[in-house]
Amino acid sequence: MYQNLLSPITINKLEIRNRVVYPSLGLLYSYDGTLNDRYYEYFREKARGGTGLVTVGPVGIDFIGSGGIIPMLDSDDAIPGFKKMTSVIKEEGARAWIQLFHAGAYSYPMLLKGDAPIAPSAVYSRYSKAMPREMTIEDIEKVREAFVSAAARAQEAGFDGVEILGSGGYLITQFLSSIKNQRTDAYGGSFENRVRFPKEVIERTRERLGADFPLTIRMAGNDFVTGSNTDNETKEFAKVYEAAGVDAISVTGGWHETHVPQLPASLPQSGFAFLAYNIKKEVSVPVMASNRISSPETAEKLLKDGYADMVSIGRGLIADPHWVNKAMVGRSDEIRPCVACLQGCMDNVMTGQPVTCVANPLAGYEGERIIEKCKTPKNVMVVGAGLAGLEAAVTAATAGHSVDLYEKNDEIGGQLWVAGAPPHKGELFKFVRYYQAMLWKHNVSLHLNTRVDDRLIREKNPDFLIVAEGAEPLLPPIDGMDDPSVISAWDLLKEDRLLGDEVAIIGGGAVGLETALKVAAKGTITPEILHFLFTYEAESVERLRELMFQGTSNVTVFEMLPKVGKDVGKSTKWVLMSDLDKYGVAFTTEAKVVSIKNGLLTYEKDGKTHQQQFDHIINAAGSKSVKNIAEKIEKMNIPFAVIGDGAQPGKINHAVHGGFLAALEI
């Protein structure tokens, strides 16, 4: 079915069983620079799932370049731990790669015991919020040797290949960029001088490893930073890399400080594959495409269309490490989806927490959360087919229990149909596809259009009851919430409707902001229309941009706190706020709405009372748990668990992980 994706490929002289690469991703499973069982089990599962090439990393080559917060290979003492890692990966049939890392100016001073980060030049870093020290020639030679020595240790540890990190805005890209590299010596200025450091690192590493050992590089396809390198320059860097001795090139997007989203759902599937093709045209070694390639169909098409020779599946393999095995046997509908929310991966890393996955309760817990077949199967009744109930039902059935799942509506998914309605949130609907397949696979009896009450529970008399009733909109204590102009955000997101010219949103949390984006985007041109108008030059670029972002409603968000988006993840908040700004959404913060009458909204701000007229006012002030059954269950003498929003309103991980853990406790 996926003939190209699942075919072998050779890098240098090493054959790899398929074209799927698990790339390096920061995990934070330790904070002392060492590997541990959590790392081993995490990577074991990636290899066991059928992935062809599994990359361990980022791995620090010295303390100043990483702060010791990631695994380190800066001394021979670390080799035994990495030997165990290569054994874990290779025992499962995958090829073990390692990515060598130096952050340069991106190192955080608080991790460096008072030392300043080092970089090509003393240029302030917006990423680390620090001024680095300009590297001396001695520093350059020392770091170059650190790369080479770490690569030699990796070879001794049994890795099949070494990757040098030359992307993301880290040290090598800092040397390449004229806005970061302002040196006037042999390592700055001209193209030849700026590329000298990575060229020397590759050449010296190749010399140390030998001609037959695979050496690759991960490079930026476009820095996506004003004044820095574009895809015009990066293809020239790739030529230098190939001539210096790399055997394959992994192409990703831009720097961490770019204004162009690199990973969230706003980036279309395989949106940066064109960068890989830009490099592939210029080199003869295999090229890997990256970023937002999450389905076997997308991956296969990229290979079939000639964009790349291999594909990197990062977060997709966190969501489901058996991605390849399922694709191989034609069960892609059973692949647990990555929905590009970044909550368990990037948000965790950016707040110093270990990587998990909101969609996969086993990610990061591979050695701890084990689904064991039950010795005495029970009759399990699950009430509510939202995310929490679905995960609980599937997990309980996987463990061998007999499961009946009840849902009052005519379809599964619960609040997914609300959460997936705003722009760029449609990925959430993939959960419906996944759970439909899993309910069928594990013989869960699904009862739609069935409202459960205490009578039905007594009639069925289950051995265990899981209650996942979900939540409902919270009505804030505002006079006039029954005004004809007021609409629930949930109702609007479920069933789109005509709105007037002026629309207010009460509540500046995640739901309020995503609703604001949904409303502001109403009436803008679709991507298909934009493509048509651009193709035939029917309108000017300026007019097209206006049509993209000027909708049929003006939107104002009212929030009581000083800032909006308090519950939005750090890695996606800036993208959401940028989009809202492009659509012209206005914000009135530190404002308390006190009444609504015939669309006239009265609010208090700065000790004064203000009024503003709106055609429609949307309530996005929050939610509360539904406890129709939960309040009665204790009297029924049936073992039970209350999960998901029915226990307490929360995010996706609260539902999925809660449902999983509740099922394990049966």
373 found inside a domain: no
Longest alpha-carbon distance in the chain: 83
Confidence of residue 572 (pLDDT cuts 50, 70, 90): very high
Mean per-residue pLDDT of the chain? 96
422 and 544 housed in the same domain: no
648 and 515 housed in the same domain: no
pLDDT in tens, 430-488: 999 999 999 999 999 999 999 999 999 999 999 999 999 999 999 999 999 999 999 99
433 and 521 housed in the same domain: no
- Say how far apart CA 453 and CA 448 lie, in whole Å: 14
pLDDT in tens, 307-333: 999 999 999 999 999 999 999 999 999
pLDDT at residue 489 greater than cutoff 90:
yes
Q: What's residue 114's pLDDT?
A: 83
303 and 180 housed in the same domain: yes
Q: What's residue 90's pLDDT?
A: 98
95 and 80 housed in the same domain: yes
Domain of 34: which CATH number?
3.20.20.70
- Say how far apart CA 388 and CA 378 lie, in whole Å: 19
478 found inside a domain: no
67 and 157 housed in the same domain: yes
Q: Which pair of structure tokens corresponds to residue 47? A: 């290899």
486-488 and 616-619 as β-strands: parallel, antiparallel, unpaired? Answer: parallel
Confidence of residue 631 (pLDDT cuts 50, 70, 90): confident
Q: What's residue 342's pLDDT?
A: 93
Q: Residue with structure tokens 């759902």?
A: 265
165 and 257 housed in the same domain: yes
- Say how far apart CA 66 and CA 147 lie, in whole Å: 13
* Domains of the chain: total: 3
Report CA 91 to chain centroid distance, whole Å: 29
655 and 613 housed in the same domain: no
Considering only residues 350 and 661, tell me which one the structure prediction assigns the higher pLDDT.
661
Q: What's residue 171's pLDDT?
A: 98
With CA atoms as reference, report the closest residue to 117 among 128, 126, 98, 104.
104
434 found inside a domain: yes
pLDDT in tens, 204-215: 999 999 999 999
366 found inside a domain: no
Identify whether 58 is preceded by a cis peptide bond (ω within 30 of 0): yes
Domain of 630: which CATH number?
3.40.50.720
Go through 117-150 and write b for each residue having 16 or more CB atoms within 10 A of its CB, e for each that does not: bbbbbebebebbebebbebeeeebeebbebbbbb
pLDDT in tens, 97-156: 999 999 999 999 999 988 999 999 999 999 999 999 999 999 999 999 999 999 999 999
168 and 263 housed in the same domain: yes
371 found inside a domain: no
68 and 183 housed in the same domain: yes
Q: What's residue 635's pLDDT?
A: 85
27 found inside a domain: yes
365 found inside a domain: no
657 and 556 housed in the same domain: no
Q: What's residue 525's pLDDT?
A: 96
Q: What's residue 634's pLDDT?
A: 83
Q: Which residues pair with 611 in a beta bridge?
A: 602
249 and 284 housed in the same domain: yes
Q: What's residue 50's pLDDT?
A: 98
pLDDT in tens, 346-405: 999 989 999 999 999 999 999 999 999 999 999 999 999 999 999 999 999 999 999 999
Domain of 567: which CATH number?
3.50.50.60
With CA atoms as reference, report the closest residue to 99 among 7, 3, 194, 214.
214
pLDDT at residue 1 greater than cutoff 90:
no
Q: State whether residue 457 is helix, strand or coil.
A: helix
- Say how far apart CA 531 and CA 421 lie, in whole Å: 23
Look at residues 335, 350, 365 and tell me which one is the last residue of a structural domain: 350
User: What is the helix (H) or strand (E) element at residue 402, kind and residue range?
Assistant: strand 402-406
**Parent domain of 308:** 9-350
- Say how far apart CA 641 and CA 633 lie, in whole Å: 10
4 found inside a domain: no
pLDDT at residue 92 greater than cutoff 90:
yes
